[in-house]
Amino acid sequence: MMSKFAKATRLIILVAGVALAGCQARAPQASPAELAAKAVALAPGDVRLADLYAHACKACHAVAGSGAPLAGDRAAWAPRAAKGMSGLMGSVVGGYKGMPAGGQCFSCTPADYQALVRFMADQPVN
Ligand code: HEC
């Protein structure tokens, strides 16, 4: 028969285990406020791209509630990334719903657009 001490110890281990499992399950999920703060803080590492981004895409893609998928919000970008780079380039160049044609970037090359999409999506886009 188990002692009271052993029972209590098992209970504590069980409770701690459940609590830890809960933390692990929640950890990758950033709150909307955290995602918004992250989007505002993010900038491409490359100087030219950072300049293009700051003067164009950032006006919407770092503004929560703009309808634009936020920079660094991988979950929001996942279904976009699934369209593939050629599909997304069609949206960037031609416009797509609230996304204006060219993304208000007048000196972006096709390579710039692709790099900006990969930066904002924060995941491979092929
Ligand atoms: C005036 C606001 C605005 C600017 C500036 C802007 N975007 Fe967007 N963008 C949007 C909105 C809004 C959407 C979401 C459209 C929708 O799905 O309803 C979007 C969506 C996108 C998408 C996903 C399109 C799709 O097919 O799902 C890409 C890629 C994108 N933007 C790239 C860019 C890039 C690159 C820049 C800068 C060169 C940029 N955007 C600048 C508002 C903007």
Q: What is the pLDDT of residues 31-78, one digit of tens each?
A: 999 999 999 999 999 999 999 999 999 999 999 999 999 999 999 999
**56-67 pLDDT tens trace:** 999 999 999 999
Residue whose CA is at the smallest distance from ligand 1 atom 2? 60
Q: Mutate which of 61, 83, 88 to test ligand 1's pocket (most atoms within 8 Å of Cβ)?
A: 61
pLDDT at 16 over 80: no
Tokens linked to 70: 């936020």
Residue type at 93 in one-letter notation = V
Task: Convert 18-51 to b/e letters by CB count within 10 Å (16 or more is b).
Answer: eeeeeeeeeeeeeeeeebbebbeebbbeeeebee
Instruction: Tally the residues of the chain.
Output: 126
Answer yes or no: is pLDDT of 86 > 60.
Answer: yes
Cα-to-centroid distance, 106 and ligand 1 (Å): 15
pLDDT of residue 79: 97
Query: What pLDDT does residue 108 have?
Result: 98
pLDDT of 1 above 70 = no
Work out the pLDDT band at 29, boundaries 50, 70, 90: confident
Measured over the CA atoms of residue 34, residue 77, residue 61 and residue 125, the dihedral's sign is positive
- For ligand 1, is residue 107 a contact (CB within 6 Å)? no
Cα–Cα distance measured from residue 60 to residue 31, given in angstroms and rounded to the nearest whole number: 19
